[in-house]
A and B are shown apart, each in its own frame.
Chain A
Amino acid sequence: MEFLQFAFMQRALLAAVLVGVTAPAVGIYLVQRRQALMGDGIGHVAMTGVGLGFLLSTNPVWMATLVAVLGAIAMELIRSYGRTHGDIALALLFYGGMAGGVMLINLAPGGSNANLTSYLFGSLSTVSEGDIVSICLLAAFVVLVTLGLRRQLFAVSQDEEFARVTGLPVRALNLLVAVTAAVTVTVAMRVVGLLLVSALMVVPVAAAQQLARSFRATFVIAVLVGTGVTLAGTITSYYQDVPPGATIVLLAIAVFVLLTALAAPLARRRARAAAPPATEAQACDVAVPPAAAASGSSAGTGTDGDGVRV
């Protein structure tokens, strides 16, 4: 445990834990709404913020947060209003954000793509005191929202129309999820990098789903997996000369594969335990006229029009 003596390692581990907690905590709502790739889009847009930060010589973390939040709000509005050309609008936003970042950083005095690389793929060892303060504040916001409003966010992400009929402020909650996701992206930016942020939002949740039957358990397992892989990845990168961001993401994927392999027999056992009474699972015992049986046999199951009446 000698690595704990180094201040940079302490900062790196703290940042890693915060990311391990926050990324899946937001990601679960994105996955629930089937917007798993939204984090990736926000990551692209945040690049413009990083570029602006360099150009204006301000802290790139805060500038990236600002731009990512604006981008996420735009994405949410496009999702809720735009129907026909929504995906084109999103594409313009993503690639505009990415190109803007590259352009701005090259315009900045002394800026180069090398600076950008540390944000694209993470650069744990260069996390500064100031970065840590920003990351802690942002992470606190994310935890507060994702835990404090979990029932409301669950309802909105599960069935938006129903949530509106309960009188919840659905639009505000949707925007809050978008903003929280944007904040998480910038929290995770220094650890796994903008291009791999989305993986940490989605993969631990996907892994947790293999075991969990409830939303609550999915949440808890996802956060445990997230924290586990970010810590393990950071420590691995201390001993081996490997990039932490990529290590973390590959570890998360390994956990996903492992849990999936473990879960298959578990699910079978569960299904057998909860086997519904034979009535529901049995094959048809309806007498089918021979002709129909012959013509329908290749199709396997009946469709709406196949003449079975109850």
Chain B
Amino acid sequence: MTRAPAGGRIGRQRGGPSAAPKIPGAHAEPIEDTMETVERVERTEPEPVIALRAATATLGARPVLRGIDLTVHRGEVVALLGANGSGKSTAVRSVIGQVPLTGGSVALFGTELRRFRDWARVGYVPQRTTAAGGVPATVREVVSSGRLSRTKLGWPRRADRAAVDRAIELVGLADRAKDSVSALSGGQHQRVLIARALAAEPELLIMDEPMAGVDLASQGVLATTLREQVANGATVLLVLHELGPLEPLIDRAVVLRDGCVVHDGPPPEAVGQHALPGHDHVHPHAADEPLRTGLLT
């Protein structure tokens, strides 16, 4: 089997996210390969994709995470739910090393975060804040930067360009690839950010409120894209405000309140009125702010 050079993991993404379902455990550590194939069959994995243990973090003087455990296994789709300010973004940002922990530990793919280098295996979709940088950039230019986790300081090759095109196609923006991102609607912009994360063909997707401020058409595209990723074996950690149209995909939900985990198990169906599908409440256009109402508020 061919292996990617210098730590580049291959696995499922060889041949692209739209390729046939992956061969389980086809990644680059020979000794683990066989182990993992066996374990996968039994669905008990000693090496979770994300392992956040007893994590505490402070922002400013405020304790924002107060001892969180969050484990995501290979192939799982986990939703992180909670009110605004409950620490969801902080939790996922600590998983990818963007918030320093004051206590506890994080490991990705079994490697302690401090020593983790294999960033091409992780696709991150940040909570959307501002629409664009100070200079015009096309959809393709923004999505291409997602591929840097594979090309690093080198030049992109043909395979890299193809992966970028595929990612743009996956979110249905092929016809807008040459348009400036500032000309897009909020939902299309969110699709660009997701394509950017998919460009590296990651095994793990971490998305922070991908549905916030997204018009209905884009919500549909996003749900379809995510379904395909999951069908191809991706592991997903999703911060959501409410389960919404992604509900059928979700294996497990972790609910935060004031920086503590208050629920970890099947998606809560009865956490109150707000979680009901009829109460879905997403503005169709361009709400740049995360919504202020929803689950547990």
Contact = CB atoms under 8 A, between A and B. Distances in A.
A152 B134 contact: no
Given A165-B98, A167-B120, A305-B292, A213 B136 contact: yes
Contacts of A280: 185, 215, 285
A131 to B, nearest CB: 31
B250 interface: no
Contacts of A216: 141
Interface residues of A, number: 42
A164 B292 contact: no
A296 B5 CA distance: 60
Nearest to B148: A166
A304 B292 contact: yes
Contacts of B289: 304
B216 to A, nearest CB: 7
B119 A32 contact: no
A205 to B, nearest CB: 7
By secondary structure, the A interface counts as helix
Given A158-B142, A280-B285, A205 B153 contact: no
B291 A162 contact: no
Contacts of B118: 167
Contacts of B137: 154, 158, 214-215
Contacts of A162: 124, 126, 145-146, 196
Given A155-B145, A215-B141, A280-B215, A167 B135 contact: no
A22 interface: no
A165 B136 contact: no
Contact of B180 (A152, A213, A309): A213
A180 interface: no
Contact of B133 (A33, A152, A213, A308): A33
Contacts of B183: 213, 271, 274
Contacts of A212: 136
A175 B119 CA distance: 22
A221 to B, nearest CB: 10
A280 B217 CA distance: 10
A240 B283 CA distance: 60
A129 interface: no
A214 B134 contact: no
B281 interface: yes
A65 interface: no
Interface string B122-137: 1010100000011111
Interface string A187-206: 00000000000000000010
Nearest to A271: B183
Q: How large is the interface on B (under 10, 10 to 19, 20 to 34, 35 or more residues)?
A: 35 or more
A152 B148 contact: yes
Main secondary structure of the interface of B (DSSP, over half): loop
Interface in B97-154: 97-98, 117-120, 122, 124, 126, 133-138, 141-142, 144-146, 148-149, 151-153
A215 B280 contact: no
A209 B285 contact: no
Contacts of A167: 117-120, 149, 152
A25 B287 CA distance: 34
Given A164-B97, A168-B148, A274-B183, A213 B215 contact: no
A310 B216 CA distance: 9
Given A213-B138, A280-B285, A304-B289, A163 B133 contact: no
Contacts of B216: 310
A149 to B, nearest CB: 7
Nearest to B197: A162
B156 interface: yes
Contacts of A151: 144-145, 148, 151, 156
A276 B180 CA distance: 14
A11 to B, nearest CB: 32
B96 interface: yes
Nearest to A165: B124
A250 B135 CA distance: 22
Contacts of B40: none
Given A166-B149, A213-B178, A276-B185, A159 B144 contact: no
23 contacts: A28-B135, A151-B148, A151-B151, A154-B141, A154-B145, A162-B146, A162-B196, A163-B148, A164-B97, A165-B96, A165-B98, A165-B124, A165-B149, A166-B120, A213-B136, A213-B183, A214-B136, A214-B138, A215-B141, A274-B179, A276-B185, A305-B292, A310-B216
Given A31-B134, A166-B148, 19 more contacts: A151-B148, A151-B151, A158-B133, A159-B133, A161-B93, A162-B124, A164-B98, A165-B97, A165-B124, A167-B117, A167-B120, A167-B152, A168-B152, A205-B135, A213-B136, A213-B138, A213-B180, A215-B138, A280-B185
